[in-house]
A and B are shown apart, each in its own frame.
Chain A
Amino acid sequence: MATEILMPALSPTMEEGTLSKWLVKEGDTVSAGDILAEIETDKATMEFEAVDEGILGKILIDEGSEGIKVNTPIAVMVEDGESVEDAAAEAKAPTTQPAAEKPAPQAKAADSAPPAPESDTSPDWPEGTTLKQQTVREALRDAMAEEMRRDEDVFLMGEEVAEYQGAYKISQGLLDEFGARRVVDTPITEHGFTGLAVGAAFGGLRPIVEFMTFNFAMQAMDQIVNSAAKTLYMSGGQMGAPIVFRGPNGAAARVAAQHSQDFAAWYMQIPGLKVAMPYSASDAKGLLKTAIRDPNPVIFLENEILYGRSFDVPDIEDYTVPFGKARIWREGDDVTIVSFGMGMSYALEAAEKLAKDGIEAEVIDLRTLRPMDTAAIIRSVQKTNRCVTVEEGWPQGSVGSYISSVLMQEAFDWLDAPVINCTGKDVPLPYAANLEKFALTSTDEVIEAVRKVTYK
């Protein structure tokens, strides 16, 4: 049976090309792999190989021809015993070779995006629950210990997590309880141990990876984004990475630019990741337990300054906090202040000071940035008509700018003033004490922003 040889697409972008030169002539016997012709693509001159053996029956496109569209028949191959004339006759017959399918027109895919979920406003714990004071540090340790007791596949790895008891003492006591098999000191090798942990997650374990700080996770960014976040999608749902990456994030105190950066907005952008950033000890505990149980990669952003602060933690066995549910710390009618992580301490302090002047702020702690409870923000803004966001990260492409965009699109008619984003200044964090203080956002800046949007 005669088969047509079609003008090949020899690069991802090639639509047509020049048939520069035939290296075989009619009547030649060719085997698979023989070079048939040289074809000039949009990038280079390529050799075009035979896929099957046979005899070149007829050349349909002469060498030197330009602008030959991909999939145009350029020659006819015949089998042994078949005449070239038969082939030529057949070649004149209308081609039955279907052209490559064109991709479907652009999907109206956005239409089928899931709608924003209703906001869950139930309290985190029932009224009358006994509360105990605990630091964020203790809460994080308890969360890990409880989950390690619950699931044998959960293990902790990172620099200094075992024998040193944690660079910031978060893993204190875990080596004693769980042993070196499950509390693993790594070499200083972020890129490597992050990839290794992702592999362990593919292999059925549930790793908790502690970065001594998230600044060092930049060395591992490829494994976090390309391997952990995308594999479930790229595998059509076959293989995901249940893994928690946790550690301190943002500015600590006087450690300068390379050790002081808030990565919230970076990670929040990545589909496939979940991002939690707790402020209080109860949220640190409840969110970390949820993160460890989640079958997806979770970025868990802590804060060194908050580690030592004490908060009420409910004395409940197996206390968890769901992702995507904001916490309203303070109700008010005059302005909505939205924050998360360390920013919450400025937001709450500002709200208290403003209350003395008769301005009642509603303070929302997002707790998780992906998923983000935008419904809670919108509902609050529908009441207050004003919004200020607070974060330590840089202004361009910030969490606040995303929230502003959501409010523009979904609550435009409710806004009585532009949304103001309180952020870190657009500079690397300096070392000098006065400059460092000036570079970070502050309670005073939040107060000033609230006065601006309330015109008071």
Chain B
Amino acid sequence: MAARKTTKQPNVAAEDLKRYYREMLLIRRFEEKAGQLYGMGLIGGFCHLYIGQEAVVVGLEAAAEEGDKRITSYRDHGHMLASGMDPDGVMAELTGREGGYSKGKGGSMHMFSREKHFYGGHGIVGAQVPIGAGLAFADRYKENGRVTFTYFGDGASNQGQVYETFNMAALWKLPVVFVIENNQYAMGTAQKRSTSTPELYTRGEAFGIPGEQVDGMDVLAVKEAGEKAVAHCRSGKGPYILEIKTYRYRGHSMSDPAKYRTREEVQKVREERDCIEHVRTLLLDGKHASEEDLKAIDKEIKQVVNDAAEFAKNSPEPALDELWTDIYAEAAPQNA
């Protein structure tokens, strides 16, 4: 395979590289399985796959520390897996079962994990952006040194509330990394048809928020940029914008025939810029791993995903009385 950015042999431990490979592969195989289960009618409604964009979350998770928070939109399966959430619970939520993270009541777009500091999973385009800044507001209030990764897409970056949030985040120096996952299509609308200035990393300039553009097909580049952004936030300098150029291989959702781009365009990215192939090449060329090692990882991941699918098929549907639970939290005990 032609050298890409591999000419500068990265200064990264073999174990880390293998971990990124495994995590990206888990997301891809999980998403392929989800697509399959959707085709079988086991997953309903909207289902937005993350295939192609895996390096974004895996790279940024590599830059995060324990206790840092993350929040994203409806294309959220990859973020959950990368943050360490259990594939069984995620898949069972996709099939709407009792064993899902939200007991089957949230579905693909609405999952959360306090334990992994994953704050959703939001179905309204852009709504997660002020919420993410609010998480950072709480961290600054508590002075706990934590950083929040707030992910949104190139489509969401035209929502008004994003700029309301940029203003407050800069004004109050909130420790939030705004991650614009630019996969170049807002559903079926190419960026050039929807966006007056294509350089989304400059969108914070009016508020004094620094930003940079990152190759989102290169997990190491994403990690490096993430570390820089996190250091900026943790040092009390306020928010940072990362525009991560990526590409989604599948349609916007399962029912999207994706006629707004050519099959050749998709195929070209898959063949020339695929993020998993990139790491695979680094591992093999750098003699960090053999074909056999990688096959073993492939096999292991396949097993994890098949187990998740089995769990998701066999977990029962939620009991009917679940309809009435979780609408209100119990009132905290009042002082006598």
Contact = CB atoms under 8 A, between A and B. Distances in A.
Partners in one complex: yes
Contacts of A12: 44-46, 254-255
Interface in A315-335: 318, 320
A109 B277 CA distance: 50
A103 B8 CA distance: 55
Interface stretch (B12-20, B54-62, B75-83, B323-331): B323-331
Contacts of B328: 232, 272, 274, 296
B42 A226 contact: no
Interface in A1-60: 6, 8-12, 14, 32-33, 35, 41, 43-49, 51
A109 B127 contact: no
B129 interface: yes
Q: Interface majority SS on A: helix, strand, loop or mixed?
A: loop
B134 A198 contact: yes
Interface of A: 6, 8-12, 14, 32-33, 35, 41, 43-49, 51, 70-71, 99-101, 103-104, 107-109, 112-114, 155, 181, 186-187, 189, 191-205, 222-223, 226-227, 231-240, 242, 271-272, 274, 290, 293-296, 318, 320
B234 interface: no
Contacts of B326: 232-233, 235-237
Given A12-B46, A51-B33, A197-B134, A187 B167 contact: yes
B105 A196 contact: no
Contacts of A233: 105, 326-327
Nearest to B111: A235
A240 B130 CA distance: 16
Nearest to A38: B257
Interface in B236-285: 249, 254-255, 257-259, 263, 270
A70 B327 CA distance: 35
Contacts of B105: 233-234, 236
Contacts of A51: 32-33, 35-36
Contacts of B323: 107, 109, 112
Contacts of B324: 109, 112-114
Given A71-B40, A237-B325, A231 B127 contact: no
Interface string B92-108: 00000000111111100
Contacts of B329: 232, 237, 240, 242, 295-296
Contacts of B46: 12
A227 B127 contact: yes
B138 interface: yes
A10 B134 CA distance: 37
A456 to B, nearest CB: 43
B271 to A, nearest CB: 11
Given A101-B42, A181-B141, 12 more contacts: A6-B40, A191-B130, A192-B168, A194-B130, A199-B137, A200-B135, A233-B327, A234-B121, A236-B101, A237-B325, A237-B326, A272-B327
Contacts of B32: 32-33, 51
B112 A235 contact: yes
A199 B334 contact: no
A277 B275 CA distance: 55
Interface size class of B (residues with CB under 8 A): 35 or more
B160 A191 contact: yes
A234 B167 CA distance: 29
Contacts of A199: 71, 119, 130-138
A222 B134 contact: no
Given A192-B130, A233-B105, A295 B138 contact: no
Interface of B: 32-33, 35-36, 38-42, 44-46, 69, 71, 100-106, 110-114, 119-124, 127, 129-139, 141-142, 160-161, 164-165, 167-168, 171, 249, 254-255, 257-259, 263, 270, 317, 320-321, 323-332, 334-335
Q: Which of A104, A114, A227 has the most CB of B within 10 A?
A: A227
Nearest to A235: B112
Contacts of A14: 255
Contacts of A293: 331-332, 334
Give the top 7 A-B pairs by smallest Cβ distance, nearest first.
A199-B134, A192-B164, A195-B130, A203-B138, A8-B39, A100-B41, A11-B255
Nearest to A203: B138
A222 B133 contact: no
Contacts of B139: 203
B46 to A, nearest CB: 7
A18 B327 CA distance: 42
Contact of A41 (B133, B171, B255, B327): B255
B38, B111, B137 — which one has the most chain A CB atoms within 10 A of its CB?
Answer: B137
Contact of A223 (B130, B135, B257): B130
B332 A238 contact: no
22 contacts: A6-B40, A8-B38, A8-B40, A10-B255, A12-B45, A32-B32, A35-B263, A48-B39, A192-B164, A194-B130, A195-B127, A196-B137, A199-B71, A199-B119, A203-B134, A203-B136, A222-B127, A231-B120, A235-B120, A236-B101, A295-B329, A295-B331
B327 to A, nearest CB: 5
Contacts of A10: 39, 254-255
Contacts of A107: 320, 323
A294 B134 CA distance: 19
Chain A CB within 10 Å, residue with most, of B39, B127, B168, B263: B39
A234 B135 contact: no
A14 B259 CA distance: 19
Given A6-B40, A294-B331, A239 B171 contact: no
A107 B318 CA distance: 12
A191 B122 CA distance: 16
A1 to B, nearest CB: 13
A195 B69 CA distance: 16
